[in-house]
Structure formats: structure tokens, C-alpha cells
Structure 1
Amino acid sequence: MTDQEGRAVVVTGGTRGIGAAIARRFLAAGADVLVCGRTVPDELPSCTAGSAAFVPADIREPEQAAAVVDAAVERFGRLDLLVNNAGGAPSADSASVSPRFVERVVALNLLAPFYLAQRANAVMQQQDDGGLILNIGSIAARDPAPGTAAYAAAKGGLTTLTRALAMDFAPKVRVNQVTVGLVRTELAHVYYGDEAGQERVAAAIPMRRMAEPDDVAAACLLLASPLAGYATGAELLVDGGGEIPTRHLASAPQTAR
């Protein structure tokens, strides 16, 4: 049920972290995969089945976002799945952050997925079997951390966009969202500190660990399988059960063991 042989997939921000894991998972399942990023990576996602193709693009620019979809269609002859994975933002003081910063964060996390979805839908509507768009959301949309106002607001908009496009693009094109919690990527130390800090963070998650990028990739493969063929406008949480409330950890610290 996870066979993706002959399917064409685009993963934005697919050169590292979660995006690279998604690309590798679909390559291993038999798909043709194209990834994009602003800079050419030293190494592209690959597995024994092959390697991903790459196009450079700043998807915050509408023309470049559309060009990513066009490049996939030109290379593979079709487009079956778009994964809007590119996103993120550094922490910033909401009281003093510049308008330019806010604009760029919203452009990357909300507008770019919209631009890509529009172009992908135009292609998929012409295919007999339509297609699927997966947006990678964040728990920040419902539980923002300090210093993430622009990012959290953009991700909140992405969740609403997912539901809205699911209605507008149905029935041939489905649109779903994988909403991720805390993930242990190569940049985990920037957000959660050293190994001891990451262990403390993991202790506040019911699953007692942060997600690995491949946990998110597996969720994407599940939603791309026939098992999820009737799901659209849906949000799949991949957050290990959320976070144990700090008030409970303070009163019952043994919970964190």
C-alpha cells in the first residue's frame, strides 16, 4: 500500500532535515522526486533506488515557485504529489522585529505554499487521477512559543489554507496537512540546547522523545497511500502526544523520568 512506483513528487526545502527525510522515503518507495532550495546542496537526498533531482528556487517569489512545479512536469511528465515542507524562522522579539522580517517569514511559511499549490493544482486537475498536496504544519500554530509570533501566525494561516484549498480543489485534488511537534534535526541544538537540554525537552513529551525526521516522512507516505484516499482537508498530528503541562511536571517531577 506504500508503493509509489511511477509517481512524481516535489518536496520543497527537500535538501536537509525533514524535507530530505521525506524525499528519501518516497525515493525508496519508487517515486521520482524533485527537491528545491535556495542554494545547491553538497549532497542530494538518495537511497539505493536513486537520487532526487534538484532545482534552485526562492519559492517566496511567485514566479520561482511556479517554476519548481514546471520543472517537475518537464522532467517527469506529470505531478502526483506536492509536499510544501519549506519553512521556519529564527526567534525574534515581537515588540521590535522589523516589517521586512515579518513579511519574509509569512512569505515562506504561508504565501509560498499557496503559490505552489495553485500551480500544482493546475497540473493535477488535468490528470485522470488528480493529485495530492501535503502541507507541513507546526504545533506553533496552536501553541506558540515566545519569539515566534510571525511564524506561529503564518503556520496558523497554513492550517486554514489547507482546509480551504481542500474544498476549492476537490474532488480531483486532495489537500492535507501533517502538523509536526518538536523534531530532532541537525539544527536541534539551536532551539533546544545541548544533549542534556534535548533530553529535558524529550521528557516533557508523552512519547519521551522528540520526533525524528523520518517519523514525519512516514506520516506523509501514509497520507499518500490509497489507505488515505478519502481524506482531504485533514490534519494529522505527529507530535508524540503533545507536551505534558508544566504545572503537572512541577507538581509531579517523576513524570519526567
Structure 2
Amino acid sequence: MAESQAPNAAAARVALVTGGTSGFGVEIAKRLQADGMRVAVVGRNAPSAEVVAALGDALFVAGDVTEPEEPERIVQEVTERLGRLDVLVNNAGRRHAGLIVDNPVSELHEVFALNAVAPMAMTAAAARAMIRQGSGGAIINMLSRLATSGVPTLTTYTATKGALAAYTKGAAVELAEHRIRVNAVAPGMALTPLIEDWLAEQDDPDAALAETLADIPLSRLATPGDVAGAVAYLASPEAEYVTGTSIAVDGGYTAR
């Protein structure tokens, strides 16, 4: 993974993926690269050797998107090194579990800072760059199936994603005059290391998985590729008339 890249294909679009060094972010970055985009990924820590190998010549930008000045700096670095910015994927986030009555206020601030405030700030910074370019763009926010569902112990997490869902609609309307489309992808429970670790902690992992699948009409977990495919569509020219919407990639969970 390169520390810097000079613009080497003026016609190639540039995508920026936050939280792009792990989980869904890596798969999304790989898919956008496969679709012909030059890709920059943002992470707090340097990517692992495995991620570097997977993403090849992607640009890595170290940064903490929760810091007030970082969104503008990150976008500036990407545009300076890659020449432009056409797609932003707000993927950085964290899951949070805990009873409402046990959540300290400091924890609420931390979760909202990463899951809601940071993508809003990144959207604003990216929009400013896209407006200067005058060529429009696409912004995709990562939500969750829980953005519209109430689940005990996940209320704070749900609230952050619900806030981002509302922001997505407002931003889509506000930025439409600049031909900047703002959409979202709402993944269901996916086959990731996080879920694998959760299953391993259960007394009966097989029973826990069976119970989970019983709530999903398509009877399987999502894969990172399923989610990356939805992001790739919203980032593509084929979605040029799609804005202010959210694609549920949850196997029918929220359609019940």
C-alpha cells in the first residue's frame, strides 16, 4: 500500500473509504478498485501486511476522523495526492452494547462521535472538495439493520445509526444542486471476525447461529462482498438518479 500516489489516470475516479483497513472497509476498497477507481483508505493505525497485500497500490492516510480538524485534513491530503475526490464511503464506526441504565455519559459521547458526528464532518469536508471540482460526486454512509429496529442493549448504537440515516436524507436534498448524491447501505448481521468472536463466546454457538438465522428470511448471514456490492452500485454512474435512499443488505430482516 502506497504512502503517496501521483495522479496517474486523470479519467479514473477517486474514492475515499474511512475505516478502510479492516472489516467491511477492506472489501469495499477492493471492490471499488476492481471497478476501476483509485482508492484511498483511512485508519487510525497502519494496515496489516495482509491488508496491504489485498489493497495493493491504495493510498493509506493515517487519521482519526473523530478529531475536529481531521476530516478537512484527510480530504485535502487525498485530493492533493490523487488529484480529486469523487466518492466518499463513511465506513468507520463501532458497535456498542450495554443497558441504557448502565451507559455512562462519556460512552454516549464516544459512540456518537465516531458513528454519527464523524461521518457528518467527513461528508461536509468531501462535499466542499466536490463542489470546488464542479463535477458532482457520491457519498455513501454505512448504517445498520438496527437503524430502524429496537434491540435491547443496542439502543445507543441504534440511535447513532438512526441519526446518520436522517442526516443522509437531509444531505441528499441539500447537496443535490451540486450533483452530489448521498445514500446509505444498511448491512444486516454479517460473517465477519466480530460475529465469529461473538459466536465463540456463546455457550452453544451452533444454537446461537441457528436462532440468528431464524430471524433472517434468506437464512444466511451477509458476506462483506454482499455489502461491498451495494456500495459499488451507489458509487457507480448506474446510480446517478439515486439519492436520499438506503439499501438494506440484510437478507430480508427489516422486511418482516
TM-score by length of 2: 0.88
- How many aligned positions are there? 240
Q: Relative to structure 1, is the Cα distance of residues 164 and 192 closer, same or farther in structure 2, using a 3 angstrom cutoff?
A: farther
Equivalent position of 2:3 in the other structure: none
Does structure 1 residue 130 correspond to structure 2 residue 136? yes
**Alpha-carbon distance, 1:51 to partner:** 3.1
For residue 218 of structure 1, the aligned residue among 212, 229, 233 is: 229
- Check conservation: 1:27, 1:51, Cα contact below 8 A: no
Q: Distance in 1 between matches of 2:74 and 2:151?
A: 32
Per-residue deviation, 1:198: 2.6
- The alignment status of 1:235 with 2:246, answered yes or no, reads yes
Measured in 1, the distance between the counterparts of 2:53 and 2:182 equals 26
| 8 Å Cα contact 2:96/2:111 also seen in 1 | no
State yes or no: 1:75 paired with 2:86.
Answer: no
Amino acid at match of 1:182: M
- Correspondent of 1:184 among 179, 183, 191: 191
Q: Which residue of 2 aligns with 1:94?
A: 100
For residue 200 of structure 1, report the CA deviation from its aligned partner: 3.5
Aligned sequence identity (%): 38
Cα deviations by residue, 1:147-199 (Å, 9 ceiling, x for unpaired): 11221111000000000001111132110011111111111134444652334
Tell me the alpha carbon deviations over residues 225-255 of structure 1, each in whole angstroms, 9 at most, x when there is no partner: 222111111111111111697xxxxxxxxxx
Rounded Cα–Cα distance in structure 2 between residues aligned with 1:81 and 1:243: 27
Alignment partners' CA distance in 2, 1:182 and 1:56: 28
* Cα separation, 2, equivalents of 1:92 and 1:45: 34
Could you tell me how far apart the structure 2 residues matched to 1:108 and 1:83 are? 14
CA contact (8 A) 2:145 2:254 kept: no
Give, as a single letter, the amino acid of the residue that structure 2 aligns with 1:181.
Answer: G
Deviations 1:94-126 (A, max 9, x none): 102111100010011100001000000001012
1:168 is matched with 174
- From 196, 216, 219, give the equivalent of 1:205: 216
Runs of 4+ that moved beyond 6 A: none
Partner amino acid, structure 2, of 1:223: L
CA root-mean-square deviation = 1.9
Distance 2:56 2:136 in 1: 25
Residue 255 of structure 1: aligned partner: none
Cα distance in 2 for partners of 1:7, 1:104 equals 33
Aligned partner letter, 1:159:
A
Q: Greater helix percent: which structure?
A: 2
Q: What TM-score results when the alignment is normalised by the length of structure 1?
A: 0.87
CA gap of 1:231–1:56, structure 2 versus 1, over 3 A, is same
Kindly tell me: are residues 192 and 16 of structure 1, through their superposed partners in 2, closer, same or farther at Cα, counting changes over 3 Å? same
